[in-house]
Amino acid sequence: MIWNIPIGLTWMRIALIPLFTILFYLPKHWIEPQTINIAAAAIFAIAGITDWLDGFLARHWKQTSDFGAFLDPVADKLMVAVALILLVKLDRTLAIYAMIIIGREITISALREWMAQMGKRNSVAVAYVGKLKTAAQMAAIFLLLLDTLPSSTINLHDIGNLLMFIASILTIWSMFYYLKMAWKEFQ
């Protein structure tokens, strides 16, 4: 296994997942709920920033590797899945959104693995609709983790769920786009 800063950042993202999760299971009298929300949103934001940073550094320093290409999306999918499950448990978003997003991630990850085994991974490379989906999804999760801010008139809960709805639509759209691209390889 290759060790470098980009892979270290990816491992750090994975290590943040238990810390992120534990926040919501601490005894209620230890930390104020709003502090938990802010800390969880901050951890999620750090994970998002390091996701961008590890890819940038790997390309910039020419430290890309097959292991890094495998581990990076795993770290992303784990953090998003855990965040979505927690948000559903906290009754901050609908379970259908989590099912759509997690189901799509599993489906497309499996499709990419299958296409890679056939030597056709580029036929399901990340497309613009996938990037839009990710942006909406990350913004939605961040806002739903914050949930409310003291003395704020902005309804983060409603905005987060609107973005989650948009992310779910984009998730379905991107899944069909990738399936269509893969289908062309079989004809």
Q: d(Cα 80, Cα 183) in Å, to the nearest integer?
A: 27
Helix axis angle for 128-146 and 66-89, nearest 10°, is: 40
pLDDT digit string, tens, across residues 20-52 = 999 999 998 999 999 999 999 999 999 999 999
Q: Left (φ > 0), alpha (ψ -120 to 50) or beta: where does 151 sit?
A: left
pLDDT digit string, tens, across residues 88-141 = 999 999 999 999 999 999 998 888 888 878 776 666 667 788 889 999 999 999
Topology classification of domain 5-186: Four Helix Bundle (Hemerythrin (Met), subunit A) (1.20.120)
Instruction: Return phi, psi of residue 154, to 5°.
Output: -85, 130
Query: What residue type is assigned to position 17 of the chain?
Result: I
Pick from 179, 51, 173: nearest CA to 112: 179
What is the helix, strand, coil percentage profile of the chain, to 5?
A: 80, 0, 20
What secondary structure, in 3-state letters, does 54-94 show? Answer: HHHHHHHCCCCCHHHHHHHHHHHHHHHHHHHHHHHHCCCCC
Domain boundaries, the chain: 5-186
